[in-house]
Amino acid sequence: MRVCLTDTASCGCCVMQKQMWRMEQYFNMSLNELQRGLERAQAALNNVRASRSAFSVALTDTRRCVGPEREETTVIYKVIFINLGEGYNVATGVFTAPRSGVYSLALSVYSDAGSPGATLAACVSLRINGREVAAPSERNQQDQEDNTATVMAVQLRAGDTVSVRLPPGCFLCDDSSHYNTFTGFLLYATD
């Protein structure tokens, strides 16, 4: 600065250096703000990815019937179409909510009595934490095939379990057409 006071020829150079220093400071500050914004966006995206939860399963790929049983049993769907978040356990047939939120659940049910006049029913019990929330059923009165379905939105907390149970006297049949399916996915998180 003293040079600028005594040497007017160098004054323009000092002013330019000051301007460059200010621009560099402004650029670094802007770059840091952009970096923090990018980190926040990446954290939000990672949170969305971590919260993805969706499953869709079918009873079997081959011709197979389950039931009727004397006691209520858990239906174990063996064909997995999608299991994002690994919430559905193929060994137990139970979906465990990975996080709190509103979930969509859908269930399709089908049975084939095998011959006209045989009295069997397509019926299941959809349960959350062991409590029945829906029980779609159809009893074959006029033909040998029965089907029913239900779709619902439910509030689940992280760790809540959802299962499909086969009541006594009920019967399910499936094959590669996948008539018996169980699907659920997180609509939005609430935590």
What integer is the mean pLDDT of 82-100?
94
Residue 96, amino acid: T
Which CATH fold would you assign to the domain 52-189? Jelly Rolls (2.60.120)
Q: How far is CA 136 from CA 107, 148, 165, in A?
A: 9, 6, 11
Residue 186, amino acid: L
Domain definitions of the chain by residue range: 2-49, 52-189
**Quick check: 8 pLDDT over 70?**
no
Q: How far is CA 122 from CA 102, 106, 115, 125, 175, in A?
A: 28, 16, 15, 11, 15
SS3 at position 77:
coil
More confident residue, 31 or 82: 82
What integer is the mean pLDDT of 155-162?
96
pLDDT bucket at 157, cuts 50 / 70 / 90: very high
What integer is the mean pLDDT of 168-178?
85
- Determine the pLDDT at residue 19: 85
Contact 39, 46 (CB under 8 A): no
SS3 at position 83:
strand
